[in-house]
Amino acid sequence: MAGLVFLALLVGWFSGRRAYQRQYSEPAKLSAEYYKGINYLLNEKPDKALEVFLRLVEVDGETVETHVTLGKSFRRKGEIENAIRIHQNLIARPNISREDRSLALLELGKDYRSAGVLDRAEGLFQEVCEEGLHRTQAQRALRDIYVQEQEWLSAITVVKAYARSIGEKQDKLIAHYYCEQACLDVKQGNADSVNKYLRQAHQHDAGSLRVNYMRAEQDFSQGKYLEALTYYVRVIELDSRFASQALPKIQLCLEQVDNKRVQRQLEALFTRLKKEGVYVTPLTQQIRDREGVQEAKAYLENIMDKQPGVEPLKDWLDLHPVSIDAKSVEQQINKLEVLNHAYQCEHCGYNSRNIQWHCPSCSHWGSIFPVYR
């Protein structure tokens, strides 16, 4: 009941505002019709109210905004058929203005999108884009449809057009879309396409953590170890939290190539990571080999003081002789790992066991990072 009262007040407010804008043209006739419709809403007779408001469109073409608002209310309540009726009725009017028709098309597209009829919604949004009015809203709606359907190249096209419409670059988002298309081609085993789309992603956002990580992974898979090394090192330089992902691959690459420049980069990187207190198993091993067990213990204890975790604890135990079965200890620790979430979204707190670049909870891109370093 409260929802209907609010809706009635909202419709009444819009009708009053539009009446004022028309300098009270035909006040008695409009007032009587609107109050009749509002009365039906208050008495929970939405079907009859709908008939009244549909007739009002025929009476006065300047009430479009009110009817769009009513259509939105039906859509929010899940009454999609009623919302579609209102918006289709508006579009069918021969004397409707170009701007009002574009608005009605946009809202009708949203109706169909809510109903899951995406092909119909896509066509309506494209029509709005072509007309030019309400274009940016239609472009955003098209983008969301293409993302939902994983049509990444179409998403890229519409986002580039959206960037031109608003005069703001969307390079970071476009780079993610190119990466998504590359992921699809990885599954198809199309290495040439993967390389092409990753290069395009790099052109749009050379400082992207994801782009550099994916380029490293792609080069590694193709045996291009020196190229992969460069990108893996860049990943850690961009965000040290990804050291745990990159360093094991770096070690494998170093077994295949001998490059003094990269070695010097890694030495500087290890020094930085140790100073920052970043946890990675390869760094623990290096400290143990170069500076001794006690220094390795101190490094791990400093890590666990700041951010307790299963992995640094396992490394720490490996440095200590234990009086009980070491294998049993490791098995018990491994059981605790299922309680840990390896990745977390910085925007909404969503937890994941696997690396993801698009948060399924808040839909932000590039917001999920390793928790246990």
Q: What would the two tokens of residue 242 be? A: 């990804």
Residues 45 and 20 both lie in one domain: yes
Residues 287 and 204 both lie in one domain: no
How distant, in Å, are the alpha carbons of 4, 118, 226, 255 from that of 258? 73, 53, 9, 8
Residues 228 and 272 both lie in one domain: yes
Instruction: For 150-208, write each residue's pLDDT tens digit.
Output: 999 999 999 999 999 999 999 999 999 999 999 999 999 999 999 999 999 999 999 99
**345 bridge partner residues:** 368
Domain range for 60: 2-96
93, 57 contact by CB (below 8 A):
yes
Please say which residue of 276, 295, 319 terminates a domain. Answer: 276
Identify the band that residue 278 occupies on the pLDDT scale cut at 50, 70 and 90: confident
Residues 25 and 86 both lie in one domain: yes
Mean pLDDT of 288-317: 80
pLDDT at 295 over 90: no
Please say which residue of 48, 70, 96 terminates a domain. Answer: 96
Identify the band that residue 302 occupies on the pLDDT scale cut at 50, 70 and 90: confident
Rounded CA Rg of the chain: 30
Instruction: For 105-148, write each residue's pLDDT tens digit.
Output: 999 999 999 999 999 999 999 999 999 899 999 999 999 999 99
Residues 79 and 14 both lie in one domain: yes
Residues 41 and 86 both lie in one domain: yes
CA 220, CA 250: separation in Å to the nearest integer? Answer: 10
Residues 265 and 351 both lie in one domain: no
Phi and psi (nearest 5°) for 348?
-120, -10
Residues 310 and 346 both lie in one domain: no
Q: Which comes out higher in pLDDT, residue 256 or 51? A: 256
Q: Domain for residue 24, yes or no?
A: yes
Phi and psi (nearest 5°) for 345?
-75, 125
Q: Domain for residue 119, yes or no?
A: no
Residues 84 and 19 both lie in one domain: yes
Indicate the average pLDDT of the chain: 81
State which amino acid sits at residue 241.
Answer: R
pLDDT at 356 over 50: yes
Least confident of 1-15, 183-197, 297-311: 1-15
Q: Domain for residue 102, yes or no?
A: no
Closest alpha carbon to 316 in 302, 328, 306: 302
Residues 221 and 250 both lie in one domain: yes
Q: At what angle do helices 98-114 and 64-76 cross, to 10 degrees?
A: 10
pLDDT at 272 over 60: yes
Q: Domain for residue 146, yes or no?
A: no
Residues 49 and 64 both lie in one domain: yes
Residues 311 and 364 both lie in one domain: no
Q: How many folded domains does the chain comprise?
A: 4
Q: Domain for residue 131, yes or no?
A: no
104, 64 contact by CB (below 8 A):
yes
Q: Domain for residue 159, yes or no?
A: no
pLDDT at 82 over 80: yes
Q: Domain for residue 214, yes or no?
A: yes
Q: Which comes out higher in pLDDT, residue 68 or 280? A: 68
Instruction: For 63-74, write each residue's pLDDT tens digit.
Output: 677 778 778 888
Mean pLDDT of 251-268: 80
**CB neighbours (10 Å) of residue 366?**
21
CATH number of 20's domain: 1.25.40
Q: Domain for residue 10, yes or no?
A: yes
Please say which residue of 36, 70, 96 terminates a domain. Answer: 96
Give me the percent of the chain exceeding a pLDDT of 70: 77
**344 bridge partner residues:** 351, 369
Mean pLDDT of 73-97: 87
